[in-house]
Amino acid sequence: MMTIVFQLARALVPDSFMSLEKILQDKKPTILQGWFEAILETYPTDTRRFLKNKKDRFKNPVAHEISQGMEGIFDQVISGGSPDEISPFLERVVKVRAVQDFTPSKALAFIFELKSLVRAALAANLKEPQIHEDLLSLERKIDELGLLSLDLYMKCREKIYELRVNEVKNRVGRLLERANMICGIPEREGDPEVCTTDNLT
């Protein structure tokens, strides 16, 4: 009974008294859809049609990672999640974008799109002082997200370079562990062969 009364009361409360979080939660599908479409815009026209179809994560892992990541970011941001809580979701998107055909700024610009989408969603409530204030702090949060994404982007790029180095080292890793036994082809014809076999055990 109490629940029904409570729900009734909530339904009667006009939008204007709803919290920022509640309004954004209600408009989540529209905002997320808009956000996803905004990120799609950064891909070539021919690709967008393919990326749009998110039904099968195995056929379209990019859209899956991006949309799942975005949803997580959104939920965390509006409910006041800490950077540690947001990071795993942000990382899902950044990890994909960090190896695609984008400059760093292009890869991360999507974050700031969230601002205009949130503003658009709040258009009717912007005059309310509380909402206005909350919005400003939310926007600050999105700016912080931008900085956080920069850290994550760098982490991905550093990882890429680390992987490169590791591969080169491991290519003959066991051999070097045992002894230096490679005999390379000299750079110029006539040069002596580059062989180091004297420390064979």
Partner 1 sequence: MAKVGSPEELARIDYSPPKKSWMDIPPEFREGRWCYGSKAKDHAVVGLPNPRAWSPADEDWKLPDNWKEIFLEGMRERLHKYRSFQLFMDICVRCGACADKCHFFIGSGDPKNMPVLRAELLRSIYRGEFTTAGKIMGKLAGGRKLTYDVFKELFYYFFQCTECRRCSLFCPYGIDTAEVTMIGRELLNLLGCNIDWITGPVANCYRTGNHLGIQPHAYHSMLEFFCEEIEEITGILPEPSFNRKGAEILFITPSGDVFADPGTFTAMGYIMLFHYLEGLGLDLTWSTYASEGGNFGFFTSHEMAKRLNAKMYAEAERLGVKFIIGGECGHMWRVCNQYMDTFWEPPKSLETPVSPITGTRFEHAKEHKMIHICEFTADLIKHGKLNLDPSRNDPYRVTFHDSCNTARGMGFFEEPRYVLENIVNHFHEMPESTIREQTFCCGSGSGLNTDEFMDMRMRGALPRANAVQYVHDRHDVNLLSCICAIDRATLTTLTEYWVPDVEVSGVHELLGNALILEGEKKRTMNLRGEEFPWVEEEEEEEVEEAAEEVADEEAAGKAEGEE
By CB under 8 A, is residue 126 in contact with partner 1? Answer: no
What is the number of other CB atoms lying within 10 angstroms of the CB of residue 16? 12
Q: How far apart are CA 121 and CA 111, in angstroms?
A: 16
Answer yes or no: are the C-beta atoms of 179 and 195 closer than 8 Å.
no
Map the footprint of partner 1 across residues 10-39, applying CB under 8 A. none
**Shortest separation between residue 43's beta carbon and partner 1, angstroms:** 5
By CB under 8 A, is residue 44 in contact with partner 1? Answer: yes
Map the footprint of partner 1 across residues 132-161, applying CB under 8 A. 156, 159-160
By CB under 8 A, is residue 68 in contact with partner 1? Answer: no
Rank residues 7 and 197 by Cβ distance to partner 1 and give the closer one. 197
DSSP letter, residue 13: S
Residues in contact with partner 1, total (CB under 8 A)?
A: 58
For 128-150, b/e burial (b = at least 16 CB within 10 A) is beebeebbeebeebbeebeebbe
Q: How far apart are CA 75 and CA 89, in angstroms?
A: 10
What is the number of other CB atoms lying within 10 angstroms of the CB of residue 100? 11
Of the listed pieces 12-20, 22-30, 73-81, 95-103, which binds partner 1 according to CB under 8 A?
95-103
Q: How far apart are CA 185 and CA 154, in angstroms?
A: 37
Q: How far apart are CA 18 and CA 15, in angstroms?
A: 5
Q: Which residues pair with 194 in a beta bridge?
A: 184
Of the listed pieces 69-77, 78-86, 143-151, 185-193, which binds partner 1 according to CB under 8 A?
185-193
By CB under 8 A, is residue 167 in contact with partner 1? Answer: yes
Rank residues 13 and 172 by Cβ distance to partner 1 and give the closer one. 172
Among 8, 13, 99, 147, binds partner 1 (CB under 8 A): 99
3 state SS of 196: coil
By CB under 8 A, is residue 45 in contact with partner 1? Answer: yes
Among 5, 127, 188, 192, binds partner 1 (CB under 8 A): 188
Residue type, 37: E
Q: Which residues bind partner 1 (CB under 8 A)?
A: 41-47, 50-51, 56-62, 64-65, 95-96, 99-101, 106, 109, 113, 116, 119, 156, 159-160, 163-168, 170-175, 178-179, 181-189, 195, 197, 200-201
